[in-house]
A = this chain, B = another copy of it.
Amino acid sequence: MNTIEEVLESKDIRITAMRLLIYKFLAEKEVAVTLSDIENAFEKADRTTLYRTVKTFEDKGIVHQIDDGTGITKYALCEKGCNCEIETDLHLHFHCINCNKTICLTDHKIPQIKVPDGFVSENVNLVVKGICDKCSS
């Protein structure tokens, strides 16, 4: 169990109050969040800072970006063992069309996809849309 500070330092991310707060916010969420979500949670902070903070997290590999088809980029913390950059490790995402939440199904790996001859696959984005467990019950 590492502290947030240790996580950030291990990834060469300098520690600031802002970053600790944003990390904490992301860690508390069980769903992927938009920049606006973060913005609403930190009304005192500037959007640019939040934007760049998340980008930094992404560059350093502790956050991954999700394109769930809503047209708005969402972000989620990479969990332990999430190697977003490795093709074979990609997990899939579930987007609830009722509550509009997007959830990482970390333990649901994407099956091997065959592509035609001559095509080279580098990355796979798989989003399942439907009704989530909370909305269907």
**Partner-B contacts on A (CB < 8 A):** 67, 69, 71, 73, 92, 94, 97, 105, 108, 111, 113-134, 136-137
Contacts and interface: CB of A to CB of B under 8 A. Distances in A.
A118 B130 contact: no
Contact of A128 (B73, B92, B121, B133): B121
B126 A119 contact: no
What is the copy number of this chain in the assembly?
2
A71 B116 CA distance: 25
Contact of A125 (B115, B120, B126): B126
Contacts of A136: 118-120
Given A119-B131, A120-B136, A122-B130, 15 more contacts: A67-B71, A69-B125, A71-B73, A105-B116, A115-B128, A118-B133, A118-B134, A119-B132, A120-B130, A120-B131, A121-B130, A123-B128, A123-B129, A124-B127, A124-B129
